[in-house]
A = this chain, B = another copy of it.
Amino acid sequence: MKLAVFGVGLIGGSFALALKQAKAVSRVVGVGRNPANLRLALERGIIDAIADPASAVRGADVVLVSTPVSQFPKVLEAIAPGLGAQTTITDGGSTKRDVIAAARKALGSKITQFVPAHPIAGAEKSGAEAASAELFRDRRVILTPLRENRRGTVEQVESLWKACGARVARMDPEEHDAVLAAVSHLPHLLAYALVHGVAKRNNSAQLFSFAAGGFRDFTRIASSHPEMWRDICLANRDRLLQELKSYANELGSIRKLIEKGDGAALEKLFAGARNARNKWIQSS
């Protein structure tokens, strides 16, 4: 089994390591923009060779595209010409509608071979350095199969992600992008906004020096990969703007409660949120 990984970062590198550990692949080649990162991937045994797109795809059983999503059109166009009929493609993109549109355009009739996937296993670390065979263990991976996919292809991709230790769910791409906008994309934006708002002030050093554990955890995701999140914001723009609007309304309601001094309503809202979160934590 030969695996070709385009973008050997946190997701791509972890996919390779996990499949090697599960003995689901024997040879991994890596393609990427950053030579130093690829060399590190080679040193760490994540990949067995650095390749150009054409030779990476040649004879590959599986291709994973795990670059930031704005690069998908270019990467898929480079993959398409040499793509053999026996090669299956999956991806690690955090948005699915844009990725699918790019794949349809680049792959043409070979779209049957592409099963879109989103492993929900981000971290604030990135690059081959951060890759781990355990990253996907017990994490969810959402597949958004296409009507053109053959059942066997979808099952193959599902079994690969399961071999990484992931729990696989299936979803419609539209639904995927709406759900992730609410529970992932919006929080990232909120965390970036908070840190940016503090960092730009004259007394930012003082502010940071009195920030504690709550601030640290709240803003952990503001240490995420800027280019990746730029791409997600643009790719899922409509859904994210919808979430931003609804969040602004939520904050507006809370602001009014504070202005009115409505302690009872504030406490009720806080208690409701705490209960909902604690219930989720206990069940997850």
Contact = CB atoms under 8 A, between A and B. Distances in A.
Interface in A41-60: none
A78 to B, nearest CB: 21
A199 B273 contact: yes
Given A120-B210, A217-B220, A250 B180 contact: no
A38 interface: no
Given A204-B276, A233-B258, A263-B230, A269 B192 contact: yes
Interface in A187-234: 187-199, 201, 203-204, 206-224, 226-227, 229-231, 233-234
A215 B248 contact: no
Contacts of A272: 196, 199
A45 B192 CA distance: 43
Contacts of A187: 194, 214-215, 218-219
A190 B194 contact: yes
A269 to B, nearest CB: 6
Nearest to A240: B258
Contact of A273 (B195, B201, B261, B271): B195
Interface residues of A, number: 88
Contacts of A184: 211-212, 214-215
B277 A219 contact: yes
A244 interface: yes
A198 B217 contact: no
A54 to B, nearest CB: 28
A31 interface: no
A226 B267 contact: yes
Contacts of A258: 233-234, 237, 240-241, 244
Contacts of A192: 254, 269-270, 273-274
Interface of A: 70, 120-123, 139-140, 142, 169, 179-180, 182-184, 186-199, 201, 203-204, 206-224, 226-227, 229-231, 233-234, 237, 240-241, 244, 246-248, 250-252, 254-255, 258-259, 261, 263, 266-274, 276-278, 280-281, 284
